[in-house]
Amino acid sequence: MDLVLFDLDNTLIAGDSDFEWAQFLIAKGVLDRALYEARNIEFYEQYKAGTLDIDVFLDFQLQPLAHHPRRVLDAWLGEFMTRHILPMLGAKARALVRQHRESGALCAIVTATNSFVTAPLVRELGIAHLIATIPAQENGQFTGQPRGTPSFREGKVTRVTEWLEAMGLWWGSFERSWFYSDSQNDLPLLSRVSNPVAVDPDPTLRARAEASGWPVLSLLG
């Protein structure tokens, strides 16, 4: 059996769901534009530059979840998925996921974006496993804090390892392993698999892929 891992934002979808979720809440008037928009853009630029402090960002990103009832958040999320995220999911990405699923590989999405925002899209793709940053809950209400290790940079390797161990598996259980990603932030996990693939990569990842002989793939269009 093979192991196939997919990054989500700017890899399987042509955009960043973390960034777009905050922009969606700003557009709805849920978040104050004057207070949130500039910070949202700043965090996104830090992410792209590889300088993001994940703890500071998660405090910004998860706190709004704690201020609204779950039923309201679920309704907003449904609207967000339909109007903003599903249009970013192209035919090439769907075909790539379907190819690996039909091969019998163990597949998972591995994303820094929180599981509340990303779970509906993972279900849409028919992938059974999601490794994401976990927003803590108490009795169904979000606390505004993360739980456990954020699924970011080296944390992705940690979280995937823990996930495999929970199923009685380890990296050596697989003849081949893939990870598809666009971002330099994912170099730790890309370096861990036997078949790293750069997907519409940022300049830093493209340079690493070319130097290392990794395949470079585009899922756009």
Q: Which residues are catalytic?
A: 7, 9
Query: One-letter amino acid identity for 121?
Result: L
Are the CB atoms for 165 and 178 separated by under 8 Å?
A: no
Question: Cα separation of 189 and 160, whole Å?
Answer: 9
- For every residue of 61-76, DSSP letters joined together read HHGGGGGS-HHHHHHH
Q: What is the 3-state secondary structure (H, E, C) of 1-40?
A: CCEEEECCECCCECCCHHHHHHHHHHHCCCCCHHHHHHHH
Helix H or strand E segment including 166 = helix 154-166
Structural contact between residues 7 and 183, judged by C-beta atoms closer than 8 angstroms: yes
CA-closest candidate to residue 128, choices 102, 101, 150 = 101
What is the DSSP code string of 43-61?
A: HHHHHHHT---HHHHHHHH
